Amino acid sequence: MTPRFRGLGSGRPCRTLHTPRNSVDNPPAAKRGQTRVLLTLTTTRSPATDLGWLLHKRPAKAQAFELTFGRAHVFYPEATEGRCTAALLLEVDPIRLVRRRGGPAGEGFSLQQYVNDRPYVASSFMSVALAQVYGSALGGRCKERPELVDEVLPLEARLAVLPCRGGEGFLRRLFEPLGYEVLAEGHALDTKFTDWGDSNAFTVTLRGEQRLCDLLAHLYVLIPVLDNDKHYWVGDDEVEKLLRKGEGWLAAHPERDAIARRYLKHRRNLAREALARLVEEDQPDPDAEQAEQEFEEEALEAQVAIEAGDGAPEAGAMKIPATGIAAAQVGAMVADVTEVGAAGAGVARAGADGVGAARNVVSDAFADIAAEPETDAAPQRAATLNTQRLATVLAALRACEAASVVDVGCGEGNLLRVLLDDKRFERILGMDVSLRSLKLASERLRLDRLPPMKRRRIELIHGSLMYRDARLRIDAATPFDAAACVEVIEHLDAPRLAAFERVLFEFARPRTVIVTTPNREYNVKWETLPAGRFRHRDHRFEWTREEFQAWTGGVAERFGYSVRFLPVGPEDAGVGAPTQMGVFESNV
């Protein structure tokens, strides 16, 4: 290769490399004799030249920076009060890459070490340059003008040539959820040989209102994700980089699984660790945050407690007629669920037998369970909404005669404890994405102290409902008899809910699926719950009865199930019950 020099429009020459004409390894967007690894950042917020303060680069001065793989140049093609553009241009030296063993995989004599697209497309080299040249801006630091750091600016980023391995659709799925308008111009593999088709290279323009540090963090992470490669070894420290640069946006991104896998170069152990930590770090202090949220939800649901006997209700509890309610309602609850199950499964009895049924439904480990019989001297304690919910789910599992049950999103093991105390459930699997919750479940279930026969019946696994997992089936040909999904779906945003549907109903495909979720209509009954606010701060939605039935009906139709509905808790003639439950039965 013969070096030659071309101006950058900044009055300062820059060394480039003369390269062969268009080929697979030399995208057509790079003209002969030019290196087009170019990123421009533009703002129109007045005075636009404040961009120089944020980037720590003076618009009046062109600068060059030596990097391990070549050189980076920063210059300003335009800098006015109304519009300012900063350009970052990289010269990637392929010979230096080979000498440092930082190029594409392969032996030193391999042709790919010398002939590749690395000097012409944005890749992990651009991410390294962003960190080293714009490090202060990326880290959200500006000593001279600190007030600019947190200001949301109208920004435009343009990448001259960006490889999008996954196509324009994947490019949009990465940036559009972050609030960007995405413009992508595709390029033919070779303009003289159009039958070769299109390349995977695009000229990409991103527009949106962002903090500059957020825009740089998005580019730092997502450029190598789109390239689906890195020029250096990926180790444990890359997990830390991903979590730092993804703070505040990656945990909630609908493509976070794909981002983690690609950024960590498809090293599965690192991707699993990163995803697990993303979920945990989404709550900075998980113990305090979750405890506070659970306390708020329990305090709210305690107002729906069913009074039993002539005893006084708990402080602040919603008034419900007392005489015979506990026995009759629990008995009716079990009867209704049994009817939903299979014909001939039997009808649960009301009255005192209903209280006995409720006593079998729950474990003595729950302090709010009504476990004592009614007497004049000792009125039965109020059954909380959570108790009624678990009782209804258990009754439905009994009615469908399930012997194997998977509790998806098992949390701290409330339902697992109830199942474990009932010998008819021979195989119990609890799965949750939170390692902390699984640890608490293990402690509360005292798995290390259980008798061997009982211990063999239950297993806890760490996993996500977002991707298929062979452990959600007994074996390839045998699904679980039933799956319980208790107060889980409302924590999923729309893309994750769609993934959950396929994982559970298409892949795992248990014979019976039980889903419970809050009834939003009932929220008006709580005076302490502000209008429009959800019961739990982590809820992504709360459905009305009509919305829940529309969702369950669509799922049942798509995946070959029938579904029936049951109320959980005291029903109001106008707004229904506080919790709604759908029981899916496979038609196959």
* Sequence ranges of the domains in the chain: 3-232, 234-282, 291-586
pLDDT of residue 184: 92
Q: How far from 283 is each of 201, 272, 279, 287, 547, CA to CA, in Å?
A: 38, 18, 8, 9, 29
pLDDT score at 124 = 81
The pLDDT of residue 583 is 96
Q: Which CATH architecture has domain 3-232?
A: 2-Layer Sandwich (3.30)
Per CATH, the number for 291-586 is 3.40.50.150
C-alpha to C-alpha distances, 452 to 413, 431, 440, 448, 509, nearest whole angstrom? 19, 21, 20, 10, 29
| Cα–Cα distance, 380 to 352 (Å, whole number) | 12
Total-model pTM = 0.47
Residues of the chain with pLDDT under 70: 1-36, 94-121, 279-383
pLDDT tens column, 44-59: 999 999 999 999 998 9
pLDDT of residue 158: 94
Residue 290 has a pLDDT of 52
In DSSP notation, 20-70 reads -SSBTTB-TTS-TT---EEEEEEE-SSSTTHHHHHHT--TT--EEEEETTE
H runs (alpha helix) in 490-579? 494-501, 545-559
Residue 453: per-residue pLDDT: 93
Q: Which amino acid is at 281?
A: E
Q: Say what the pLDDT of residue 34 is.
A: 37
pLDDT for residue 47: 94
Tell me, what's the pLDDT at 98?
63
* C-alpha dist (Å) from residue 441 to 286, 436, 461, 476, 485: 15, 9, 11, 27, 16
pLDDT confidence of residue 543: 94
What integer pLDDT is reported at residue 303 of this predicted model? 60
Instruction: Decide the pairing of beta strands 482-486 and 512-518.
Output: parallel
pLDDT given at position 436: 86
What is the pLDDT, as a whole number, of residue 15? 36
